[in-house]
Structure 1
């Protein structure tokens, strides 16, 4: 993750929830910084790091690391849900199609599906199955298509 994005997340969470501000305890000792808390949460979510492993890298205890993940997820959803945690609209899809085409994958939305569990998580494909997916137009080898496709490995039915 690039530093400006990380710092934007830290700043947003600090403004959203006082849990992500650095405070002093009753003895006057400074507690964990918002950067430590966010780093612990992101490491656990991104790499599957165990909560007790955060103690070595981030200097944070297991119980606090678990609490950080919970507060982090709650805050991310509350802050960014309307902008980023939604289905793509037609404008989003056209932008994604353009990016895919520039990268040599015309008509593809997003990246490959690397986890079979993704297919079992509603509502990833519900809109396509119900024929309610936003229509997009692109051409591959002279053939016109009006729906995006998902690129997957052969293990997917």
Structure 2
């Protein structure tokens, strides 16, 4: 299929599948409603059969649960040469630092780990986290709370 500015080709396959398969389809992405998938006449037909669920910031707390802290723990377990359990206790400041954007969290931690490894310190500090630039949607929300360096990991 050749690309089309109307998005007709992009909408044809999922539209056809929704007519033939008894299943729920989830189209996920950033600004998905402005993509070729939902534009043009055939894209509008697909959009009319879809419900938009907008996702905002990942919650720090949800009742008694702390989903952001759970996500930090999951990201932390992927780090080598890192003492597990040190990052989740900083969930509140990491939530503020990333503006609750779940995509910014692993990027922040991963970059801090790379920096810690390359400079030989082998630990993630508050200072090192503060020097890392985040995605443009989370960055304006960055408000460092102190200038002192706190050890977050080994």
Q: TM-score, normalised by structure 1?
A: 0.32
Query: In proportion to residue count, which structure has more helix?
Result: 1
The TM-score normalised by the length of structure 2 is 0.32
Structure number with higher relative contact order (C-alpha < 8 Å, ≥ 6 residues apart) = 2
